[in-house]
A and B are shown apart, each in its own frame.
Chain A
Amino acid sequence: MTAPATQKVTREGGPRSLRSLLLSTEVDTRLLGMIAALAIIWIGFDIMSGGLFLTPRNLWNLSVQSSSIAIMATGMVLIIVSRNIDLSVGSLLGLLGYTMAMVQVMWFPSTPGTWLIALVVGIALGALIGGFQGVIIAYGRVPAFIVTLGGFLVWRGLIFEYAQGQTLGPMDSTFQLIGGGPLGSLGQWPSWAVGAAACVGIVYSLINSRRKRRGYGFPLRPVWAEVTLGVLGCLAVLGAVFVSNSYLWPDSLAHNYAVAHNIVEPAGGLQIPTGIANPVVIMIAVALVITFIATRRRFGRYVFAIGGNPDAAELGGINVRRTIVSTYVVMGVLVAISAAVQTARLNAAVTNLGVQNELDVIAAAVIGGTSFAGGVGTIPGAILGAVVMQSLRSGMVLLKVDSPVQDIVVGCVLVAAVGLDAFLRRRSGS
């Protein structure tokens, strides 16, 4: 009689104590779930591709590909959180990429600092077009879906109008560095420096938040949880730096470098670690800035309040329309940054630049936990979402899956991920 009863107690106690263990660390369980899913995807692809996925080269490329989507996904979070949508980002990216290419190839080809002119013009135009769409949505009261669907068609159409289907290139040599590649990366020691700074940041933010919580008299995480979090975070950062430094410059490039700098090449050629790619650096900077804006500034608070209850936000005295316009201005700027990354990487502007990017960006935000009901979403989640999306795509490319089949898989994953999330939320009653 007693034995089964005891068994039952332990069986119930097992998962419950695991959950309470997780709860006591106060880690976002959703984020943990995404990291677990990512690990499964990576290991799965690695096994299926016979060890081709988890190589420094592939992971380094993955980091670069994810960056341009992740940069835009941070802005898409703000837009979806405030109950809007932007379907135009892919087309806008094409238009801005073309504009930046025209600055370098046609308008100011030999001006010193042409790369900077291209960037400034691209970002300004991005802000302007984003703001223009935002004004029609917020003040013209046309649904965001319609306005940005219009933008999706118009901006893409404009590219064909003024590029006549031709490819524009090459880009200015400094501009190319924005796109990554062996030259457009930090190299070994700066990468370690960035990694070290990130570790300091992680430890500082853990200590700082603990101090604040103590100040307010809130319950504190157990010390072991704080230490575990800090150690895991630092290990992840340093591991990423290690991987990026394990990706070496291609032989020919290393040879040219050795010749140019009068270095005697050892047997087997010069080994130059690539380090963190510039697009990744830009993405991290963007993520920090947008996270700061979203959580520490009035604008971010308003975006979330509007998503929670637009009427309450208006009655509370928030200028809802101006806030909405601002989210689209931010989005336009981020699209311009991504456009710079993509054109620099391709070293050209092509007419299908940014095609389908809007879908990847929206999917990244949504997989990352941003809710279409409004008021809910995080920047780190969206970045992880972008990495998940790109991992799927690049893994399937490695496995030589046809592109239509890739689309089928990505589509199914998107629906399944959001469906599973909705199911889990309903069950946990939050």
Chain B
Amino acid sequence: MTAPEGPPLVEMRDINIAFGGVHAVENVSIDVRAGEVIGLVGGNGAGKSTLMRALSGAHPADSGQILIEGKPVTIANPREAKVFGIETIYQTLALADNVDAAANMFLGRELTTRLGSLDDGAMESATRKVMHRLNPHFRNFKVPVKSLSGGQRQGVAIARAVHFNARILIMDEPTAALGPAETAQVRDLIRQLKAEGIGIFLVSHDIHDVFDLADRISVMYHGRIVGTVQKDKVTTDEVLAMIIMGKKPGEVTTEELAQLHA
């Protein structure tokens, strides 16, 4: 894919986030263009979720800049992120367990009647439509989501993120709890959303997912960005070396690459 002209859809510059003494994200810069999928990979605790939570307003950065279409913005909370069209599927799913799928999908953005009362009928039928795309067999619309399976819960979280015409989509391990069929469905969905011109950050531990879907791959290692590479200019081994050893393709020796498979 050839990069279009103009500023990226989202650019995060020199982001720093610390928890007490733990520098979870250190001077990280990353960007995504419209219709592009950025694969964000790295070992456990590398800082991927923390970086994404800064963009989604869940935990604002200590320092650094966020630009949307070239304009600096501040995102202090999730409500402000949604105003910019940033939707997020959190790794923790962030569902209210005691209410049903429709209530979760419309959480904070409930449909109401003209008199301001909840329009449960409308919300439920919209939920049925979206869920049908993700999981045609899903039927449990009237039960609290705590009684759903892991995959179904993940489906609800995905449905919520894609229903509201996002411009920027953050997907933090979106297929972690899904079976093969559902994973395939989500992959199709990502391709479709990409074709609609949405900019997507795809956080994943599954390197095949990333190679399949991403245009560029950004690798994090101990809170820093090792590098951002065009997917079709690297091999999976080179990306693995970035993830495991924190070394860029040029810096890594053939012996080290061989060791990956030892």
Contacts and interface: CB of A to CB of B under 8 A. Distances in A.
Interface in A266-316: 296-298, 301-302, 304-309, 311-316
B118 A296 contact: yes
Given A298-B110, A301-B103, A313-B107, A376 B121 contact: no
Contacts of B56: 315
Interface stretch (A194-202, A210-218, A248-256): A210-218
A302 B110 CA distance: 10
Nearest to A319: B79
B98 A304 contact: yes
Interface stretch (B31-39, B41-49, B89-97): B89-97
B201 to A, nearest CB: 16
Interface string B5-32: 0000000000000000000000000000
A301 B110 CA distance: 9
Contacts of A218: 142
Interface string B101-123: 00110011110100011100100
Contacts of A355: none
Interface in B57-99: 58, 77-79, 82, 88, 90, 92-99
A317 B108 contact: yes
Name which of A297, A306, A312, A315 has the most chain B CB atoms within 10 A of its CB: A315
B78 A307 contact: no
B99 A215 contact: no
A298 B104 CA distance: 12
Given A312-B95, A317-B82, A305 B107 contact: yes
A215 B124 CA distance: 12
Nearest to A374: B98
A317 B144 CA distance: 20
Contacts of B92: 311
Interface majority SS (helix, strand, loop, mixed), chain B: loop
A52 interface: no
Contact of A317 (B78, B97, B103): B78
A216 B124 contact: yes
Given A316-B108, A317-B79, A311 B98 contact: no
A316 B107 contact: yes
Contact of B99 (A216, A298, A308): A308
Contacts of A312: 93-96, 107
A301 B99 CA distance: 9
A181 B94 CA distance: 52
A153 B107 CA distance: 38
A375 interface: yes
Nearest to B58: A315
Contact of B112 (A298, A309, A314): A298
Name which of A215, A302, A316, A319 has the most chain B CB atoms within 10 A of its CB: A316
Nearest to A317: B108
Given A297-B116, A297-B117, A316 B78 contact: yes
B112 A317 contact: no
Contacts of A215: 121
A418 B104 CA distance: 29
Contacts of A297: 116-118
A8 B82 CA distance: 60
Name which of B92, B95, B96, B118 has the most chain A CB atoms within 10 A of its CB: B96
A309 B118 contact: no
Interface of B: 56, 58, 77-79, 82, 88, 90, 92-99, 103-104, 107-110, 112, 116-118, 121, 124, 142, 144, 160
19 contacts: A212-B121, A216-B121, A216-B124, A298-B118, A302-B108, A304-B96, A305-B107, A307-B98, A308-B96, A308-B97, A309-B98, A312-B96, A313-B107, A315-B78, A316-B104, A316-B108, A317-B108, A318-B108, A375-B97
